[in-house]
Chains A and B, each alone.
Chain A
Amino acid sequence: MTEKLIDIKGLTVVYDTKVVLEDANFSLFENDFVGVIGPNGGGKTTLLKAILGLVKPVSGEIIFSEKLGNKGGDIGYLPQVNKFDSRFPISVFEVILSGLTDQKNWFRSVSKQDKEKVDAIIDELGIRKIAKKSIGELSGGQMQRAFLGRALVSDPKLLVLDEPDTYVDNQFEGELYRKLVELNRQMAILLVSHDVGTISTYVKSIACVNRHLHYHPSNIISQDQLASYNCPIQMITHGSVPHTVLETHHHSASK
């Protein structure tokens, strides 16, 4: 039986005076692969940040399964890449290693097991060549791989990604999504994206966030449905049928 990892009940988040999320209800189960879509400023990132404990809701609650550790501390997180200081003196290896630092070990020195775990992830993601480079020397796609490594190195049961498809080329985008489908066998995934057309091929279900949250238990969604969810976003389809994405798990890159 698949277990519920996260249960969000009546979540409301307010910045200053602006209501960003209102009465959002949402459950996330093991094996889920949910695409979170919605207009800019609609609250997608806020939803992620609430789950990660980075913003405090004014009302509502988020209940974590024990599998996600203490207060969801065992969630792998890949933030938006544009907020990094790319001149920070840190190597790819150290970036990934920082993904292992948590409440239980921050006061300890780095163990041999920690280093082995980092090495294993580096090999898994095929980034051995750039492991010693500092992050400022990387391309967009390489940087995303390094940050994906940081998110994965702690063996999380849930992986949360915030627009991993910005600043990367189409080839990397396709690789990334195929990797996520593979990872989805071991962990639940919550993926924020502005590109509904592309992600709907890979995700299993869709959450539309525009102040309110509408859960759509399928990866097939039409423009009409989006409109009824009050989710005014432009559908960019890459298939032959305009305005509607009909493909299910069709994994060959459609661009």
Chain B
Amino acid sequence: MLELIQYDFFANAILAALLASICCGIIGTYIVARRMVFVGGGVTHASFGGIGIAYYLGLNPIIGAAVFSILSAFGINYFTQRGNVRQDSSIAIWWSLGMAIGIVFIAITPGYAPNLMSFLFGSILAITNIDLIFMGVLSVLVLLLFLLFFRLIVAISFDEEFARARNLPVTFFNYLLMALSALVIVASIRISGVILVLSLLTIPQSTANLFSKKFGTIMMLSIVIGFVGMITGLIFSYYTDLPSGATIILILTAFFGLGKLISWLKTIGLKSR
């Protein structure tokens, strides 16, 4: 196994897994706690529109995805708050609109789009230096924001109205965190693809939540669970020649099952005492 690390692509993949687990561990806990998982789903799929346009224009797809993800996150919010559209409908509109734009632009782009599959299903082994820089900057931003403003973020997430009554900068932080969440999703698309990325933001959190009911602890546990899961999945996929993104998700889900079993055995143990 040691010889694996000597390969550049594998070292890059490990670094990507570390940065993604930091971003997803923190932002995912926020998204799960606020029950915004399906807003995340809408944003993820809507970002495909940006990938399509970037392909057509010959730009880096990540740039297109980043712009589209932020636009759709704000769009979902705007439709819900001002446009009198129900939130789930608003999500569905942006979700499918983004996908439709992506499909149309890829269709009108001459030639075959070779990397398309990697955006749909992820390919952590094909991660580029630019991706890594993007993820690194994002990790630092997310870490700083949550370290500096932890009490504010928890207060707003738990009870937005109470935070407003105390004159806290609720709207500003809502939009800031929404934009950051969108960017984290885009950065993670490289690892597990548009279709599977949501799981990186939810399965570690759900596993962590089995063992802790504290926001901060869940955040830290999620980072660890996410990282171990990604590395295990990566190694497993290398030896079995299975797609890395899907293997990572399967491993993370297996962790969740294991966690559930442990917590179940614990409650049985407590009862029999």
The number of residues on chain B lying at the interface, defined by a beta carbon within 8 Å of a beta carbon of chain A, is: 28
Instruction: Check A102 against B167 for contact (C-beta < 8 Å).
Output: yes
Given A89-B213, A89-B214, A134-B213: A70 in contact with B151 (beta carbons within 8 A): no
Instruction: Chain A residues near B162: list those with CB within 8 A.
Output: 77, 79, 98-99, 150
Q: A53-B167, A89-B33 are in contact. List 16 more A-B contacts (CB 8 A).
A: A53-B165, A54-B161, A73-B166, A84-B159, A89-B214, A90-B158, A91-B213, A94-B154, A94-B215, A95-B158, A98-B154, A98-B163, A99-B162, A101-B168, A102-B167, A103-B168
Given A77-B162, A85-B35: A102 in contact with B148 (beta carbons within 8 A): no
B83 on the interface (CB 8 Å rule)?
A: no
Bound Cα distance A154, B27 (Å): 30
Instruction: Check A107 against B149 for contact (C-beta < 8 Å).
Output: yes
Across the interface, name the chain A residue whose C-beta is closest to B168: A106
Minimum CB–CB distance from B134 to chain A (whole Å) comes to 27
B96 on the interface (CB 8 Å rule)?
A: no
CB within 8 Å of A: which residues of B?
29, 33, 35, 148-152, 154-155, 157-159, 161-169, 209, 212-215, 218
Given A53-B167, A77-B162, A134-B213: A88 in contact with B149 (beta carbons within 8 A): no
Minimum CB–CB distance from A34 to chain B (whole Å) comes to 18
Bound Cα distance A70, B157 (Å): 23
Instruction: Check A98 against B165 for contact (C-beta < 8 Å).
Output: no
Instruction: Check B158 against A109 for contact (C-beta < 8 Å).
Output: no
Bound Cα distance A102, B33 (Å): 22
Instruction: Chain A residues near B214: list those with CB within 8 A.
Output: 89-91, 94, 134
Given A89-B212, A89-B213, A107-B152: A102 in contact with B164 (beta carbons within 8 A): no
A213 on the interface (CB 8 Å rule)?
A: no
Bound Cα distance A84, B159 (Å): 7
Instruction: Chain A residues near B150: list those with CB within 8 A.
Output: 109
| Chain A 69-86: CB-based contact to B (< 8 A → 1; otherwise 0) | 011010101010001110
Minimum CB–CB distance from B209 to chain A (whole Å) comes to 7
**Dominant SS among interface residues on chain B:** helix
Bound Cα distance A33, B21 (Å): 52
Across the interface, name the chain B residue whose C-beta is closest to A133: B213
Across the interface, name the chain A residue whose C-beta is closest to B212: A89
Instruction: Check A97 against B151 for contact (C-beta < 8 Å).
Output: yes
Instruction: Check A101 against B158 for contact (C-beta < 8 Å).
Output: no
Minimum CB–CB distance from A146 to chain B (whole Å) comes to 12
Bound Cα distance A247, B137 (Å): 67
Instruction: Check B151 against A101 for contact (C-beta < 8 Å).
Output: yes
Bound Cα distance A134, B163 (Å): 19
Minimum CB–CB distance from B166 to chain A (whole Å) comes to 5
A39 on the interface (CB 8 Å rule)?
A: no
Given A85-B35, A90-B215: A70 in contact with B167 (beta carbons within 8 A): yes
Given A90-B215, A110-B151, A136-B213: A103 in contact with B159 (beta carbons within 8 A): no
A52 on the interface (CB 8 Å rule)?
A: yes
Bound Cα distance A209, B169 (Å): 31
List 30 contacting pairs A-B, 8 Å CB cutoff, sorted by A: A52-B164, A52-B165, A53-B164, A71-B167, A73-B166, A73-B167, A77-B165, A79-B159, A79-B161, A84-B158, A88-B157, A89-B33, A89-B209, A90-B154, A90-B213, A90-B215, A91-B214, A94-B154, A98-B154, A98-B155, A98-B158, A98-B159, A98-B162, A101-B166, A101-B168, A103-B167, A106-B149, A106-B152, A109-B151, A136-B213
